[in-house]
A and B are shown apart, each in its own frame.
Chain A
C-alpha cells in the first residue's frame, strides 16, 4: 500500500528533524513545551473577527524555523495538508454571518468571511507550532518534559512504549495491507470482512509481541517500576527563552502592532 509507506516515510522524516543540533534543539524540552503552551493560549484567546492582530504571531514559527534550520517548505506543505476539519466547519461562516464588518475601499467584507479568515490563520499558527515543537524537541523528550511537569509516570511510560512500536507495527500493518491489496484486484476483496480478519490477525500478532517484550523485560530484572532517564537542566538559557517569548506573546496579545504599523504607513501617504 503506497499510501501507508508514504505516510511512514513522512513520519520518519519529521521524527529525524528532532535529531538536529541547533541551540534550540539543545534547550531543556520543558522550556519549549511551556512556550508553545503560552503561544497557543495567546492565539486562541483572540476574538472571532480578529485577523490582523494574529498575523504578528507568525514571528514565532518563522523565528524557530530559522533558528533551528528546519525545512520551511516541507513544514508549510504539511501544515497546508493538515487543517481540513476546522476549514470544513469554518466555511459555513461566510454563509451564515453576512453582516458587513469591514470595508476595504469599495469592497464590503462580511463578518463570516472575517471569522473564516481568522479560523484559517489560527489553524496555520496552532498547527505549525505543534509541528515545530515536535521537530525541535522530539517525541521522547516531550514525554520526559511532560513527566517532569507532573504527568503521571504510568502515562509517560505508555507514551514512550507507543512511540517505540509505532514504526514496527505500522510496517507490519503496511505489509499485511499490501498483501491484501495485491490479491484483491480492484475493490473486490477490500471490504469489511477481509479488513476485519486482517486487523484481527494484526491484533493477535501484536498481543504475542507484547508477551515477548514482557519476557524481555523480565529477563532484565523488571519488577514493575520503570525508570525514565532525565538528563536535562533548566538553566539560564531556558529561563530566558521562556520569559522572552512569553513576554512577547503577552505584548502581542495586548497590542496590535500590525495595525499600528499599517496606520503609520497609511498616515504617511495621506
Chain B
C-alpha cells in the first residue's frame, strides 16, 4: 500500500490510543488541531491550483453555526446530526459561491473570499437571536442517543474527529493523485493549454472550491463541539489568516502536511499563550518567519527527498 496511506493509518491509531490515554487538556488540543487540519487540507487543494482564499473562515463559521443552530432548534447535542447539518450548510454555500469565485484568480480571488467572510461576520455580530458578538453555547456532545459524561464525551469526540479527519485526508490523497487532482498543477501552470486539451478550467476550480468549503465546514463543526461555544470570531479575518498561515507553514507537498502544520501551530500557540500571554502572536509570527527562511517548502520539505518535482 501507499506510504502516505500507511502514515495516515498510523496517525489514526495514535489518535485512537490518545483518545483513551491523553490528559484532558491534550484531548481538546488534539481535537481542535484535527478540526483545523481539515480546513487546511481544503486550502491545500486550492493552493495546488495556485489559489489562496483569504476568507476560508467563512465556511469554518458556517459549519459551526449551521450545526449549532440546527441542534439548538432540535434541542439535541448529537454529533452526527451536527456534522451533517453544519457540513451541508458550508457545502451548499461553497457550491453556490463557487459559481462566482471560479471566475477570479490571484489577489482578486483572495479578496473576494475575504469580503464574503467579513460579510458573514457583520451579519453574525448584528444578529441578536444568535447572540451577537457573544455567540451561543453548543450542548454537550451526544453520539446517536448515547450521552456519556462530559469527560468521556470529549474523548469520544476526539476519536470521531480522528476517524473523520484521517478518512478525509486519505480521500484527498487519492483525489490529488488522479487526473482531476493533478489538473490543479496544470491550471496553475497554464490555463490556456488546459482549455485547449478540452477541459473546463472554471469547472475544475469550482469543484476544488466546493471541496475546500465542505472540509472547512466539517472542521468548523468539530471545533464548535470541542469548544462548546460558537461566536462570530470564527468568521473574522484573523481566523482566515491563521488558516493560510498554517497552510504555508505545513507546505503543499503532501496531505500529511496539514496535520503536521496544524499540530505544531496548536502546540506553539498553547505554550506561547501560557508563557507569554502578552506577546504570543509575536512568538507565533517568529516561528513562521524561521520556517519560511529555513524551509521555504514548509515543514513538509523536511520529509521530502526528491527535489524539483512535486510528489503526488
Q: Do A and B come from one complex?
A: no
Chain B residues within CB distance 8 Å of chain A? none
